[in-house]
Chains A and B, each alone.
Chain A
Amino acid sequence: MVKHMKGTSNKREILGTLVCTSDEMSSLEDILSSNQCPSAAITSKGTDVTPNRDSGVCKIVKQHGVEGEKPMIGDKVCVHYTGRLLNGKKFDSSLDRKEPFVFNLGKGQVIKAWDIGVCSMQKGEVCLLLCKPEYAYGSSGSPPKVPPNATLVFEIELLSFRGEELTEDGGIVRRIKVKGEGYNNPNDGATVHVHLQGWCGGCLFESRDVTFVVGESVEAGIQLGVDRAMEKMQKGECCLLYLKPKYGYGKDGKPEYNIGSNAELLYEVTLKDFKKSKESWEMDLEEKLERADLVKQKGTQYFKAGRYSHAVIQYQQIVTWLEMECGSGTEQLQAIQSLLLVAHLNLGLCCLRLREYSQTVENCNKVMELDPDNEKALYRRGEARLLRNEFSMALEDFRQVLQVNPCNRAARSQIAVCQRKIREHNERDKIIYANMFQRFAEHDAKVVKLKRKKEDSGHSDQNKQSLKRPCLSEDGP
């Protein structure tokens, strides 16, 4: 919402809304104040947009939008609206709140009339929507604003819409063509039956029915993006997935399919059926330990094949299952701890390969909670820190490695690397500072001259400070 307010193009739209609504409002009021029954007036002029043609939602377009640009199910849509009762009383308006209303379309988040009505709108369109109570708040009403059995009239402007981002980084965007049923989603480890078609740059490169296990889909040649989307899909759903390279074939591309390096992919996926695997809370500890062992092997297998993101999914499962367990008896506790230790250790390594250094550090820290002198964890944390340019902390880590195991040659050479880096860094600092001081000196000289002329000292102080600041911030601790 905030983003929308900030974008300049959207700002224009919002302003546009204000202008046109003040225009439209008169026409809405015309209808409401005319002698004719308002609902009859809208019904006679408007079109019935309900799927079963029961005139439950009638629409009059007040201003046409961009042809062909319609939102799809699941899209995040952004609207401005004003809602009135048939007697003309305004019960709600996003304009009064000066904030557009954002929701996911077609997901039952809003009253039925809206899911149906907004779905039929085009970008930029302004329309009146007459909603019978069965498509609004029915016999219960919506206290305190909407009385029971109320027919509502909304004026809606569709400002913008975009596909639903399934990941934080926006690497998987979904738009739903056919809504699935129920509230159940496949989880990691679930077996899914899907039909999928993949395009790259408008060229269809694959089209097939396939069955795979979520989280292990790479064995069936499924893209990470498709795999990750599964846990957000429902049975029967058909959706489009827009994948960034990271979730597709990445920088290697796929020459057999004529897919170059860093290509974005488009998939159409239908989830025909699935069988969930047990959730963590459905398993007892014995079962979890048994499954964790298998999952660990899978993870190692993926790691060896260089499929680090996939390995992460496997190892992460172990953590989810066992993190909160403490077992009964020392034997179980040991089993849990050794599995967790391996999982975190390997997660650390995977993240290192994936260049997620802060996660490497986090996972290594987890290992050291269990085993403070773990050589590998110390070494990996050192590596991650070195790559994050935290030289002295890295140095500390490698030194600790040597304390644990004095014969670790790799650590010894890493220490040398650290020391060299620190030296280089200091050299660079020196140059920067040297320049800086030289500049200061020159500047001061100039200032002195000026001062003599103008006798203005306060001004020079300020200047000096503003010069100093950027240099200092460049090389943090």
Chain B
Amino acid sequence: MALEQLTDVVQRCQVIKDESFPPEDYDLFLTAGRTCIEQGDGAQVLSILVDEKNKKIVRCMGWNLLGPLIQILLKKEDKNLPHCHAILSHLLEVSSPKELLIGLLEQVEDADSSSIADTVTILLKPLQTVLLRMGVKKSSSVGMALSTLLSQVIRLPVPVTKEQEEDDVFGLCRCCTALLEFVKPFVLEIKDNNRLSKGNELRVELLKFCMKSLSEPLLEVLLKDPNTLQKSPLREFASEILVILSNIGESLPDLLSRNILKRKEVPGFLEEEVRYPKESLACMSHLLFVHHIGMDIFPAVLSPVFILQCNMEYVELLLSRTEESRLQKGLELYEKTLVRVEDNSLPVDLLELKIFFSVPQNLVKVMTLCPDQTLRTKGLKVFQLSIDKFSTEAKYKFFRGMLKTSHHAGVEGYLIKNIKNQIDFSLKPCNGNDWFLGKHLLPLLRLVLCLPQGPETDLLQNLDRIMESLNLLRYMLIRDKEWENETGIWTELYKIEDNYLKPLRTDLNMSKAHYEAELKSTIDNKKLSSKDSKTPTCTVTVGNEKLPNMSPEMQIQVLQSALFTFDLIESVLARIEEIIEAKDRPLP
């Protein structure tokens, strides 16, 4: 029945001279054709389509059959399959490429999430054939096809484990491999004909494709190294994207440094941003320096400091995000870039660049706020690594800057520990320097040996900082003898006593008295409440969420541990006071 209809329409149209077929015939052709294909009459449809007499009809209407054909191809098990393949390849040869392209892309766009991978892999080859048929005017069509394909592919879940990548259940790996095959002829066209001028449209489309692939999916992907996974399609994809960039005339070192060498505020810079998104470049840099992908086409003559300068931009971008995959990549990139630099070599001038303070600020955020323990630990490790790479003077300037801006007792404590290590190093023979001894050291010590809010400072909150600074002071008083006074601490001591030790003593006494009183009243309350059962308890809220009420026992525990902490502070403080007293006493 449908077959008869199809034959009818075709016969009717055969006699029409020019290609002005009535619209209702288009509809009829589609419905009849669809039914035939679905009913398994592929062979008959094929014979109609290949008939030389019907060439014009196929050229105009043939693309309408793409939808039903693709559905059959997707089902795979149909016995009709070979015929459908034959019909498709005939259509690709005969129908108008523009309409075929639109028809095929429609199929790609319409794919639901479960069939994306299959649709994409099936349609890539036909799409390529159609685009190649378009000749020189295909650039914008290639661009349209690539962006449609990519936007579907990135909907696929990214494999996380090695096994997931191997199994490739959702098909991201398959699609990536197929995409590479798809773009190959277009890249070759640019490369072989040396069409590398910045404005070449096809080149621009391929550039867009590479940049988009770098930001998505590649920035999401955590690549496995070759020891874990020998053959990784995603690694292959990443590496090919970098090769394509280089083949279309984008030099990788230029891309790497474009943010620091081309900071222009001229009109049209937005367009540049769009063409070379920072995220994509960050991903490229991560591939180069963390995975060493693309290193074989990357020059090995750039200086490590220059690479660091370039990468700081990307590290900052990655660390300013909150997604853990970005943070991890930022940390890895920073680490690997720092490792290339010699210890104690980064000059103080670098700190004139704002980014050498903004990256550590971001790092502090990761170290203190990131919910993931391993990332926090890694953050601290990288933070220390970055300190190690600075020259002595740069370390000094860095500590000063960070003490003023970090606003986190734990970080400040950590910085103070670093200062102590530097002083210790400087006091060893032949290590003397101007920065961690003598007159430069004192302004730094003033930042360390102080209470942020005077005698009212919350000792518990500032514990890390206070303990480290007391340790530092004790260390210096013991290590640097008064008659040597290399650090200058003994001349500064009376000021430190007035500005730091005395207020701290006051603070300590007040805090202790307060907590002891609290403890006493809590214990008393507890005795009372055990008599009548209405327990007055304190409430604790964290992030707007009320925690379960603290029982009196817990309260007592907390208060007691606070008192222990004060004892701890006091013991170090007392030791320092002892040393100072010993100095004031005339020698026996």
The answer to the question of B341 belonging to the interface, with a C-beta cut-off of 8 Å to chain A, is yes
Chain A min CB distance to B253 (Å): 8
Chain B min CB distance to A474 (Å): 22
Interface set, chain A 128-154, CB cutoff 8 A to B: 137-146, 154
CB nearest to A140 among chain B residues:
B340
Q: Are B295 and A140 in contact (CB under 8 A)?
A: no
Chain B min CB distance to A450 (Å): 26
CB nearest to A109 among chain B residues:
B306
The answer to the question of A320 belonging to the interface, with a C-beta cut-off of 8 Å to chain B, is yes
Q: Given contacts A2-B196, A138-B342, are A112 and B349 in contact (CB under 8 A)?
A: no
The answer to the question of B140 belonging to the interface, with a C-beta cut-off of 8 Å to chain A, is no
CA distance A292 to B267 in the complex (A): 21
Q: Are B299 and A183 in contact (CB under 8 A)?
A: no
How many of chain A's residues touch chain B, expressed as a range?
A: 35 or more
What is the interface of chain B mostly: helix, strand, loop, or mixed?
loop
The answer to the question of A81 belonging to the interface, with a C-beta cut-off of 8 Å to chain B, is yes
CB nearest to A2 among chain B residues:
B196
Interface set, chain A 81-105, CB cutoff 8 A to B: 81, 83, 91-92, 94, 97, 99, 101-104
CA distance A359 to B268 in the complex (A): 10
The answer to the question of A204 belonging to the interface, with a C-beta cut-off of 8 Å to chain B, is no
Q: Are A142 and B340 in contact (CB under 8 A)?
A: yes
Interface set, chain B 282-319, CB cutoff 8 A to A: 292, 295, 297, 299-306
B residues less than 8 Å from A99 (CB atoms): 251
Chain B min CB distance to A436 (Å): 25
The residue that B301 contacts in the complex, of A114, A141, A168, A320, with Cβ under 8 A, is A114
Chain A min CB distance to B110 (Å): 36
A residues less than 8 Å from B301 (CB atoms): 81, 83, 92, 101, 110-111, 114, 154
The answer to the question of B353 belonging to the interface, with a C-beta cut-off of 8 Å to chain A, is yes
Q: Are B249 and A109 in contact (CB under 8 A)?
A: no
CB nearest to A356 among chain B residues:
B267
Interface set, chain B 309-334, CB cutoff 8 A to A: none
Chain B min CB distance to A139 (Å): 6
CB nearest to B300 among chain A residues:
A92
Q: Are A112 and B303 in contact (CB under 8 A)?
A: yes
CA distance A114 to B295 in the complex (A): 20
The answer to the question of A207 belonging to the interface, with a C-beta cut-off of 8 Å to chain B, is no
- Total cross-chain contacts (CB, 8 A): 79
CB nearest to B266 among chain A residues:
A168
CB nearest to B261 among chain A residues:
A104
B residues less than 8 Å from A372 (CB atoms): none
The answer to the question of A201 belonging to the interface, with a C-beta cut-off of 8 Å to chain B, is no
Q: Are B292 and A144 in contact (CB under 8 A)?
A: yes
CA distance A108 to B353 in the complex (A): 15
Q: Are B300 and A146 in contact (CB under 8 A)?
A: yes
The answer to the question of A181 belonging to the interface, with a C-beta cut-off of 8 Å to chain B, is yes
The answer to the question of A362 belonging to the interface, with a C-beta cut-off of 8 Å to chain B, is yes
Q: Given contacts A83-B301, A94-B299, A97-B246, are A140 and B342 in contact (CB under 8 A)?
A: yes
Q: Are B266 and A91 in contact (CB under 8 A)?
A: no
Query: Can you list, as one digit per residue, whether each of A348-389 has a CB less than 8 Å from chain B (1) or not (0)?
Result: 000000000001001000000000000000000000000000
CA distance A36 to B264 in the complex (A): 52
The answer to the question of A26 belonging to the interface, with a C-beta cut-off of 8 Å to chain B, is no
A residues less than 8 Å from B350 (CB atoms): 183
The answer to the question of B545 belonging to the interface, with a C-beta cut-off of 8 Å to chain A, is no
The residue that A143 contacts in the complex, of B249, B253, B292, B352, with Cβ under 8 A, is B292
CB nearest to A363 among chain B residues:
B267
Q: Are B349 and A91 in contact (CB under 8 A)?
A: no
Query: Can you list, as one digit per residue, whether each of B333-345 has a CB less than 8 Å from chain A (1) or not (0)?
Result: 0000001111000
Q: Are A1 and B292 in contact (CB under 8 A)?
A: no
A residues less than 8 Å from B267 (CB atoms): 359, 362
* 20 pairs from A and B in contact (CB 8 Å cutoff): A1-B254, A2-B197, A5-B194, A5-B196, A92-B300, A92-B301, A99-B251, A101-B301, A103-B302, A108-B305, A109-B257, A110-B302, A137-B340, A140-B304, A142-B300, A145-B295, A168-B266, A183-B349, A320-B265, A362-B267
Please give me the 5 A-B residue pairs with the lowest Cβ-Cβ distance, nearest first. Answer: A92-B300, A182-B349, A145-B300, A109-B306, A183-B352
Q: What residues make up the interface of B, taking CB atoms closer than 8 Å to A?
A: 194, 196-198, 246, 249, 251, 253-254, 257, 261, 264-267, 292, 295, 297, 299-306, 339-342, 349-350, 352-353
Q: A140-B341, A142-B304 are in contact. List 13 more A-B contacts (CB 8 A).
A: A2-B196, A81-B301, A92-B300, A92-B301, A101-B301, A103-B253, A110-B303, A111-B302, A111-B303, A139-B342, A140-B304, A143-B340, A168-B264
Q: What residues make up the interface of A, taking CB atoms closer than 8 Å to B?
A: 1-2, 5, 81, 83, 91-92, 94, 97, 99, 101-104, 108-112, 114, 137-146, 154, 168, 181-184, 320, 359, 362
